Amino acid sequence: MEQFLMVAGAHFLALLSPGPDFLLILRSALVEGWRGAAGVCLGVALANGVFITLALAGFAVLRPGSPLFVAVLWAGAGYLFYLGVRLIRSAAPLSLSVEAQSVADIGGRLRGFAVGFASAILNPKNALFYASLFSLLAASGSALAIQMGYGLWMVAVVLGWDLLVAWLAAQPRWMKVFGCRLAWVERGAGAALILLAAAVAWEGWGGVS
């Protein structure tokens, strides 16, 4: 139980740190409601599951300095820059009321799923976090079954937390607050993503040099 609390606490603290996934979920919830943002949440959770599976399998290809790690860094920087520019260019006030807000169709949810998955899978920080955490667990002698249980718990927590964030952001009071300011929210999120892209690219440049 002590080990579980330490692992769960470290994972949740990392989850609380806002990043590109949080910005995408927030923006999607404001525009499409929490059901529309559910696709993004599922994509993010699945990408985390992929990294956890790789960590459990003992893959070390994403260690800092490895060619694949540098490639992921550059791909992630490019994707974050693309998302940032797209958000800034598409910024517009939210004209629909909460009651009239449309619910995303299957195609919209699939697109949201793809965006969420790409955002999380191209974030090397996720790979490093899970690789480090499960390396420590393996070194401490934790059984594989226990590590798998931790992994399932983490995926469930990621999905639950992201859905909670989406649900809170889509509440009527917040919709009224942010609805008329959505353009500025999108521009701010886009600028933040571009800055993150620059930081990731700088790290990738350091890995090459």
In a domain, 10, yes or no: no
Examine residue 6 and state whether it is found in any structural domain, yes or no.
Answer: no
Average pLDDT for consecutive 10-residue bins of the chain (209 residues)?
77 77 83 85 94 78 64 74 75 46 61 88 79 76 84 93 89 67 67 74 62
Whether residue 87 is contained in a domain is answered as yes
| Inside any domain, residue 186 | yes
Question: 155 is in which domain, residue-wise?
Answer: 20-208
Residue 158 lies inside a defined structural domain of this protein: yes
Q: Where are the alpha helices (DSSP H) in the chain?
A: 2-16, 20-56, 67-90, 106-121, 124-139, 144-169, 172-179, 182-208
Is residue 102 domain-resident? Answer: yes
Please report where in the chains the tokens 């955490």 appear, as a residue: 133
CA dist 138 and 125 (Å) reads 20
Domain-located, residue 15: no
Q: At what angle do helices 2-16 and 144-169 cross, to 10 degrees?
A: 40
**Longest CA–CA separation in the chain, Å:** 56
Number of domains in the chain: 1
Domain for residue 185, yes or no?
yes
